[in-house]
A and B are shown apart, each in its own frame.
Chain A
Amino acid sequence: MRRVVVTGLGPVSSIGTGVTAFGAALRAGRSGISRITSFDPSGFPHRNGGEVRDFDPAAWLHRLPPERWGRSSQFAAAAARLAADDAKLDLDTVDRGRAHAVIGTTSGESVVVEAFTARLVEAGFDAVPAQLVEQLPAGRLAHAVSEELGLRGESLTLATACSASNYAIGYAYDLLVTGEADVVFAGGADSVCRWAHAGFYRLGALTESACSPFDRDRSGILTGEGGAVLALETREHAEARGAHIYAEVLGYGLNCDANHPVAPDRDSIAECIRIAHRNAGITPDQVDYICAHGTGTPANDLVEAQAVLAVFGPKPPPMSSIKSMIGHTMGAASGFGAIASALAIDQGFLPPTINWSHPDPQLADIDPVPNVARPATVRLVQNNGFAFGGNNAIVLLGAAR
Chain B
Amino acid sequence: MMDAFGHLLGGFAVALQPAHLAYVFLGCLLGTVIGVLPGIGPAAAIALLLPITYGIEPTAALIMLCGIYYGAMYGGSTTSILINTPGESSSVMTALDGYAMARNGRAGAALAIAAIASFVAGTLSVVLLSLLAVPLAGFALKFGPAEYFTLMLFAMTSVAALTGPSLSKGLLAMFLGLMLATVGIDLQSGQQRFTFDLPELQDGIGFIVVVVGLFAIAEVFCGLEDLLKGQSEVVRLSGRLWLTREEWRRSMMPILRGTGIGFFKGVLPGAGATIATILSYSVERMLSREKEKFGTGMIEGVAGPEAANNASTGGAMVPLLTLGVPGSGSTAVLLAAFIMYGLQPGPLLFEKRPDLVWGLIASMYIGNLVLLVLNLPLVGVFVRLLRIPIGLLLPMVVSISAIGIFAVNGNIFELYLALGFGVLGYAFRKLAIPVAPLVLSLVLGGMMEQSFRQAMTISGADPGVFVRSTICIVLLAASAVALSIPFIAPLLRRLAVRSSAT
A interacts with B: no
Q: Which residues of A contact B (CB under 8 A)?
A: none
Interface residues of B (CB under 8 A from A): none
